[in-house]
Homo-oligomer: A and B are copies of this chain.
Amino acid sequence: MGTTQLESVPEPKYWHLKTVLSQALDSEFSVGEILPNERDLAARFGVARATLRQALEQLELEGRLQRRRGVGTTVAPPRMGVSLGTGPHVWPGGPDDAWQPVDCTTAVPPAAVAEVLETGPDEPVHIVRRSRVSHGRPVAAELLYVPQFSVPELSGIDAPSGAARARAVLRELQRPALERQENAVELGSAGADDAKELDRLPGAPVLVVTTRFVAAGRTAALSVATYRADTCRLTFGDAGGVEIHAGPQRKAS
């Protein structure tokens, strides 16, 4: 009769919507193309705008879409591989360094950082701000904490702050020999500062990479770098990483 069929597993609308849109992106759109605006899309699919947005949000999280306020929603290119390196070659300011110093201040670090650095709770350290650009786009913002003892030769004659001082600190940091490094990756959301540097809104998802550089048996520096989670695929190991993306899936026929 007129009764609706019993849905044993009622899939959420936004979930189904995401699937439909994902397939449409594969078959009917090309990279960089702009989608219809959210109000039109919502009307076309017969859902509220909030529901449509929930689907778009997920697709953006997966790196399939890029949304910019005042502009529109575009189809994102595949994520770019960003190498983090694991060997002993990646030392701040070293040969393969992809980072660009931005600024440098001297201040007391957060308690959690001071603990790792084994500095006193009120002992100031050098805080170098660096940014990483790849393929012409900003991909990461970093705070590099350098304790005073790691750069003993740092002359006060150098610039007291700014990019010049950042370079001076990095230069001095290269003197001791690197013993090892440790990496950790976790999910986070961009703070106001990082968001601005990454050209994203605050709260944007980021991959937080914390790296501890050890020299002479002590933590010589601590790096906290936030990578844009929407555009980056972090690669480790010997080569550039594996190219695995969802892409158009084949259906059993």
Q: Footprint of B on A, CB under 8 Å?
A: 15, 58, 61-63, 79, 81, 86, 108, 110-113, 115-116, 180-189, 202-203, 205, 207, 210-212, 222, 224, 229-230, 232-250
Contact = CB atoms under 8 A, between A and B. Distances in A.
B58 A182 contact: no
A235 B203 contact: no
A244 B186 CA distance: 10
Nearest to A83: B184
B182 A244 contact: no
27 contacts: A15-B202, A58-B203, A61-B188, A110-B249, A112-B244, A116-B244, A180-B238, A182-B236, A182-B237, A182-B238, A182-B239, A182-B242, A183-B236, A183-B237, A184-B236, A184-B241, A184-B244, A185-B185, A185-B234, A186-B232, A187-B187, A187-B205, A187-B207, A207-B207, A210-B244, A222-B242, A224-B244
Given A86-B86, A242-B222, A250-B110, A187 B235 contact: no
A248 B58 CA distance: 30
Where chain A touches its partner, the secondary structure class is mixed
Given A239-B182, A241-B182, A187 B62 contact: yes
Nearest to A87: B86
A234 B182 contact: no
Given A187-B207, A187-B230, 15 more contacts: A58-B189, A61-B187, A61-B205, A63-B186, A111-B249, A112-B246, A183-B236, A183-B241, A184-B241, A184-B242, A185-B185, A185-B235, A186-B229, A186-B232, A222-B242
Q: Which 9 A-B pairs have the closest CB atoms?
A: A184-B241, A182-B237, A183-B236, A187-B229, A186-B233, A185-B234, A184-B235, A212-B242, A210-B242
A115 B247 CA distance: 12
A91 to B, nearest CB: 14
